[in-house]
Amino acid sequence: MSIHFGIEKALCHVQRFCFWPHMKNIVTHYVKGCVMCSVLKPSNRKLLLYTPLPIMSSQWESVSMDFVGVLPLSRKSHDYLYVVIDRFSNMCILMSCKK
C-alpha cells in the first residue's frame, strides 16, 4: 500500500486481501513508523501561532528582489530583468541585465 489513513483504516484494507497471525501488531508498528505519516499528519505537527511580519516604518527598509527572464535580446544584449520592490510603498525598480 502506498498510502494509509491511520491504523484502523490500514488494517481494514489489509484484512480485505489477506490474514496472518499478529497482523494488527505488525500493521500498527508499520503505520507508527511511517515517515510520511509522521510528517504529513496534522496531529503530529506542532500547532503554533503565526509570527506576524514586522511593520516597516519607512521606504526601502525592506525590499524583495527577483530575476525575470529569458526575454528577447535588447540593443545592449540584455536578456533578463532584475526587479527590486519596496515592500512599504510597492515601488518597483527594473534593471536590465545579462544572464
| Euclidean distance between CA atoms 78 and 97, whole angstroms | 5
Q: Give, rounded to a whole angstrom, the gap between the first and last alpha carbons of the chain.
A: 46
Residue 21 lies in a domain: yes
Confidence of residue 42 (pLDDT cuts 50, 70, 90): low
Residue 93 lies in a domain: yes
Mean pLDDT, rounded, for 67-91: 90
Identify the domain containing residue 78 by its residue range.
63-97
Q: What is the pLDDT of residue 92?
A: 93
Same domain, residue pair 40 and 12? yes
pLDDT of residue 48 exceeding 80, the answer is: no
Q: Please check whether residue 35 lies inside any domain of the structure.
A: yes
Is 90 exceeded by the pLDDT of residue 99?
Answer: no
Residues 12 and 40 in one domain: yes
pLDDT of residue 69: 83
Predicted local distance difference test score (pLDDT) of residue 2: 52
The residue whose grid cell reads 519596496 is: 86
Question: Cell 530583468 sits at which residue?
Answer: 81
The pLDDT score that the predictor gives to residue 1 is: 45
All three cell numbers of 2, joined, read 502506498
Residue 46 is predicted with a pLDDT of 63
Q: Is residue 68 a contact partner of residue 84, using CB atoms and an 8 Å limit?
A: no
Q: Per the domain annotation, does 36 fall within a domain?
A: yes
Give how many domains the chain has, as a whole number: 2
Is 39 found in the same domain as 11? yes
Query: Would 39 be classed as within a structural domain?
Result: yes
**Torsion 20-24-26-30 (CA) sign:** positive
CA distance 51 to 66: 24
Q: What is the mean pLDDT of the chain?
A: 83
Instruction: Tell me, yes or no, whether 40 and 11 share the same domain.
Output: yes
| 51 lies in some domain | no
Mean pLDDT of 2-11: 74
β-sheet bridge partners, residue 40: none
70 belongs to a structural domain:
yes
